[in-house]
Amino acid sequence: MLGSTGSIGTQTLQIAEEFPEQFRVVALTAGSNLNVLVEQIQKHNPEVVAIADKALIPELKDRLRALSTDQSINVSPEILGGPEGLNTAASWDHADLVVTGIVGCAGLLPTLSAIRAGKDLALANKETLIAAGPVVLPELKRSGSRLLPADSEHSAIFQCLQGTPWAENARLSTGIPNPGLRRIQLTASGGAFRDWSAEEMETATIEKATSHPNWSMGQKITVDSATLMNKGLEVIEAHYLFGVDYEHIEIIIHPQSIIHSMVELADSSVLAQLGWPDMKLPILYCMSWPSRLETPWRRLKLTEIGQISFREPENSKYPCMGLAYAAGRTGGTMPAVLNAANEEAVAQFLKKKIHFLDIPVVIEKVCENHKKDLTQTPNLDEVLAVDSWARNAVIEQVKIGMRRIP
């Protein structure tokens, strides 16, 4: 489990706890949250634990020693740290499936380590594929690792494609075009500001932007949902996963988040996957695929909901959507720049350095400035170089000064 202490990580570990016969947790990695990590180690007794912040290794070891002396709880995982530690845990021998729940492009190197070790992946960490699609896809082909989508929309598409006669191509979702798949419709809740006018969004605050109406998620993806950058990133993710061109990937606003996405097939049939907005289902599907496990989870009852509705997203209200389509169409290093600029812009917003409405403004400038340096088929070093360039470019833009923060 990469990113065990986050929203995806904790939900994945809940599933492992619910199905002890099926799953055993052998490796955990986390950024810096020792309290949650120690609890998880106690519960799952993994073989290895890696913490991104190396300086925390001694404290982690002390806490585990204290557990054994104070409470006679004996857990003795191998403790690693830093980037090498994360890579070792990601490629751990006894792991069959690696769930990628790190947020941001920080997940790229451990994900590549997992792929190179031939592990199957449950991909939640979309930023990795978006930034490094041209690097990740060939690595998958070389190693034979299977990429199972944990993002709810892509899981929905993946589930809908299981029943098509072209399932052989579609079921492993590694960018191979499926001849029967005509169109993808990604559903979007519309995020925190879906009912706000453009004028009202002038008063957007951190508190508002980080409270999602339907999903409980980490802070960064919640802000991405409010700007609809999350949906834009998911368009690029769908392109890389399912090999569909950008003309045939659409976004529709569906405020109830019951339909998790739809596919249109060659004969004009449209298939959808439905469920409550709960990430445990798409995560479980990656873990149990191609089987389905019996769960005691709340059953969907459409009469409880009464009505579901759909509308077109307004391009002018959500400029991030258009920026993502443009970056996807440009391809090469542009999605990496878009992603890194977005990560830094969101971080600057959360530090109260820029206004919510300046997030797309900064990203657009940085993408524009990258055009002259675009590389169409980048290698890993080139992806990492543009990622760090774009982050610095955002910081430079912010220094120039933006609109006033409410």
Residue numbers of the site for ligand NAD (CB under 6 A)? Answer: 3-9, 30-31, 33, 52, 101-103, 106, 124-127, 151, 215, 217-218, 221, 279
Which residue ranges make up the site for Mg ion (CB under 5 A)? 151-153
Q: Identify the burial level of 31 via C-beta atoms within 10 angstroms of its C-beta, where 0-12 means exposed, 13-18 middle and 19 or more buried.
A: middle
* Residue 52 contact partner, candidates ligand NAD, Mg ion, none, CB within 5 to 8 A by sort of partner: ligand NAD
Q: What is the closest distance, in whole angstroms, from the C-beta atom of residue 283 to ligand NAD in the complex?
A: 9
* Residue 324 contact partner, candidates ligand NAD, Mg ion, none, CB within 5 to 8 A by sort of partner: none
Closer of 5 and 273 to ligand NAD (Cβ): 5
Which amino acid does the sequence have at 79? I
Closer of 151 and 387 to Mg ion (Cβ): 151
Q: Structure tokens of 118? A: 């031939």
Backbone angles phi, psi at 121, to 5 degrees: -120, 140
Q: What is the closest distance, in whole angstroms, from the C-beta atom of residue 124 to Mg ion in the complex?
A: 9
Q: What is the closest distance, in whole angstroms, from the C-beta atom of residue 225 to Mg ion in the complex?
A: 8
Q: What is the closest distance, in whole angstroms, from the C-beta atom of residue 376 to ligand NAD in the complex?
A: 25
Q: What is the closest distance, in whole angstroms, from the C-beta atom of residue 128 to ligand NAD in the complex?
A: 8
Closer of 56 and 249 to ligand NAD (Cβ): 56
Q: Structure tokens of 373? A: 């340096």
Q: What is the closest distance, in whole angstroms, from the C-beta atom of residue 72 to ligand NAD in the complex?
A: 28
CA distance 374 to 330: 9
Render the burial of 263-284: b for 16+ CB within 10 Å, e for the rest: bbbeeeeebbbebbbbbbbbbb
* Residue 5 contact partner, candidates Mg ion, ligand NAD, none, CB within 5 to 8 A by sort of partner: ligand NAD
Closer of 8 and 324 to ligand NAD (Cβ): 8
CB atoms within 10 A of CB 174: 19
CA distance 109 to 128: 9
CA distance 12 to 123: 12
Closer of 153 and 387 to Mg ion (Cβ): 153
Q: What is the closest distance, in whole angstroms, from the C-beta atom of residue 85 to ligand NAD in the complex?
A: 10
* Residue 160 contact partner, candidates ligand NAD, Mg ion, none, CB within 5 to 8 A by sort of partner: none
Q: Which helix (H) or strand (E) holds 100?
A: strand 97-100
**What distance, in Å, lies between the first and last C-alpha atoms of the chain?**
39
* Residue 227 contact partner, candidates Mg ion, ligand NAD, none, CB within 5 to 8 A by sort of partner: none
Closer of 277 and 322 to ligand NAD (Cβ): 277
* Residue 125 contact partner, candidates Mg ion, ligand NAD, none, CB within 5 to 8 A by sort of partner: ligand NAD
Closer of 12 and 152 to Mg ion (Cβ): 152
Closest among 26, 9, 41 to 92, alpha carbons compared: 26
* Residue 6 contact partner, candidates Mg ion, ligand NAD, none, CB within 5 to 8 A by sort of partner: ligand NAD
Q: Identify the burial level of 215 via C-beta atoms within 10 angstroms of its C-beta, where 0-12 means exposed, 13-18 middle and 19 or more buried.
A: middle
CB 85 within 8 A of CB 51: yes
Q: What is the closest distance, in whole angstroms, from the C-beta atom of residue 268 to ligand NAD in the complex?
A: 30
Closer of 31 and 255 to ligand NAD (Cβ): 31
* Residue 221 contact partner, candidates Mg ion, ligand NAD, none, CB within 5 to 8 A by sort of partner: ligand NAD
Residue with the shortest CB distance to ligand NAD: 6
Could you tell me the sign of the dihedral formed by the alpha carbons of 174, 177, 179, 184, in that order? positive
How far from 57 is each of 76, 106, 347, 388, CA to CA, in Å?
13, 19, 26, 27
